[in-house]
Amino acid sequence: MKDDRIQIKGNKDGVNITIDTEKFIGFDDMLEVLVSSLSINKGFYKNSILKITANFKHISNSDISKLKDELFQKINIKDCVFDDISKVKKETNNIKVFNGVHEGKTKFIKKTIRSGQSVDYPGNIIIIGDINNGAEVSAGGNIIVLGSIKGHVKAGTGGNKKSIIAAFSMQPELMQISDILTVPPDDSIKPSYPEVAKIKDGYIVVEPYLPNKYIY
């Protein structure tokens, strides 16, 4: 039976969900109804991007994390974007709180990927370490390295041309985003600041990392 407290509409960019949180007894009640509503057509929502618009004034960040985990595990969505229509937390506290984008499933690796090793993950990969020469890392989403990239890196392997590759030091043997491949010149000068690689006009470009620029 359709629940008018939750409105679900699909478009070319994904699935838009509007939730009237004030009409639910609490967060768990809302979550149960949301998952139940999506489960009816679970196959349709699989690997889709959901945009959820609601008033998150009385919903904690831990509840948001629980909601995302439930959607990933039970509906098998690709990504989840949140739009907090209240903005109350941000305006009253004047601090950074959750009110925006969830990038999808992310794998954290707290070590250096050494020569001969390979990592392949369908979501995003964040590496606290380096990718050494001869190592390979492939991700369906973004690749973020809190260290140096010297091996082979491939982001957006499922065809996502909006994926990025970022590192403190970008010196890859080979770099690929979606179906676009590039090999850096041997005589290129390595800057001493973090860089971000992305697709622009059909080519991979590498730019300095600007904190206020790469917000999704």
**Any idea what the CATH number is for the domain that residue 53 is in?**
3.40.1060
What confidence score (pLDDT) does residue 174 get? 92
Nearest to 166 by CA among 131, 123, 119, 201: 131
Dist CA 74 CA 47 (whole Å): 12
Residue 117 and residue 84 share a domain:
no
- Look at residue 95 and tell me if it is in a domain: yes
Residue 158 and residue 91 share a domain:
no
What confidence score (pLDDT) does residue 147 get? 93
Residue 113 and residue 76 share a domain:
no
Structural domain that includes position 179: 106-208
Residue where a domain stops, chosen among 65, 87, 102: 102
User: φ, ψ for residue 131 (rounded to 5)?
Assistant: -115, 105
What confidence score (pLDDT) does residue 98 get? 33
Instruction: Provide the CATH number for the domain around residue 203.
Output: 2.160.20.70
What confidence score (pLDDT) does residue 92 get? 35
Three-state SS sequence of 4-21: CCEEEEEECCEEEEEECH
The domain tally of the chain equals 2
Residue 114 and residue 174 share a domain:
yes
The pLDDT averaged over each successive group of 10 residues in the chain (216 residues) is 78 78 86 88 80 81 84 84 61 36 74 94 92 94 94 91 92 92 70 86 86 49
Residue 96 and residue 49 share a domain:
yes
Residue 203 and residue 111 share a domain:
yes
What confidence score (pLDDT) does residue 1 get? 54
What confidence score (pLDDT) does residue 11 get? 65
Residue 50 and residue 32 share a domain:
yes
Residue 190 and residue 128 share a domain:
yes
What confidence score (pLDDT) does residue 184 get? 73
Q: Which residue has the tokens 């009816």?
A: 40
Residue 30 and residue 72 share a domain:
yes
- Look at residue 1 and tell me if it is in a domain: no
Strand partners, 192: none
